[in-house]
Amino acid sequence: MKFIGKFISSIGFAYQSLATLETLQDEVTLLKGAFQRQIDELTKQVYALREEVDGLEKENFKKDQEIAGFQAMFDNIFQAHSKPQSENKATIDKRVSTSPVAFYACFNQDVNYLGRNQNLAFDRLITDSHGRYTRSSGSYRIPVTGFYVITWVTPVVGNIPFELTVNGMQRGRTDPSNTGNGASQSTTGVAVLSLYENDVVSIRTNPGASPSGVLVNNQWQDSCFSLWKI
């Protein structure tokens, strides 16, 4: 009888242990579910923060471009008011330079969110023989009076008209527009101008049109601005 009692007691203990294990398994399952929900929620928060950071980066880039446009405008105003009113450009003593004048700059990446009347602040300087380019405003100050060839290459996906300006005045225009199938359309503007020392040359978006699309810079093509004295 004692043996039977012990056997029954052992069976009862085994059932009790099994019930305890099942309870623990249920608790583990609940904990796993809670942890998974927390992980899913944290993942959503990370994606939301990433989108917010991307938005802030785009907004900062747009503000940098606007600041560059204002800087160019201030440069033009300063240039206009710094010259004596009695000065006559036709009688300026033309300086003779024995060294060539050459300038060439491009963008490092695609340019988005352009506005009207906004200077293109080319941020990848390749050639500047006289150190006359202001990267923050995208403006080049002529070092020597003479005749210059000026070019600007603007591949665009969308429709973004551009202007060549000298001291804030339009001296050339281009209007690249894409083919409608998502491919870019590249336009090259060329001008030959008589320029004076300290004239300010830049490329800007047309003030009379709302630009739409992207100014393209990639492994196949660049947006560039160049000039040289002839």
CA distances from 184 to 92, 156, 158 (A): 44, 5, 8
Give the lowest-confidence range in 12-26, 80-94, 129-143, 163-177. 80-94
Measured CA to CA, the distance from residue 105 to residue 128 in angstroms comes to: 8
Question: What stretch of H or E contains 28?
Answer: helix 2-82
Handedness of CA 40, 46, 50, 53 (dihedral sign): positive
H helix and E strand count, the chain: 1, 11
State the amino acid at position 204 in one-letter form: R
User: For position 91, what pLDDT does the model report?
Assistant: 47
What pLDDT digit, counting tens, does each position of 147-180 carry? 999 999 999 999 999 999 999 999 999 998 766 5
End-to-end alpha-carbon separation of the chain, Å? 121
Domains of the chain are 64-229 (2.60.120.40)
pTM tops 0.95, yes or no: no
Residue 188, pLDDT > 70, answer yes
What pLDDT digit, counting tens, does each position of 45-93 carry? 888 888 887 778 777 777 777 787 777 777 777 776 665 554 555 444 4
Average pLDDT over residues 175-187: 75
Average pLDDT over residues 109-136: 97
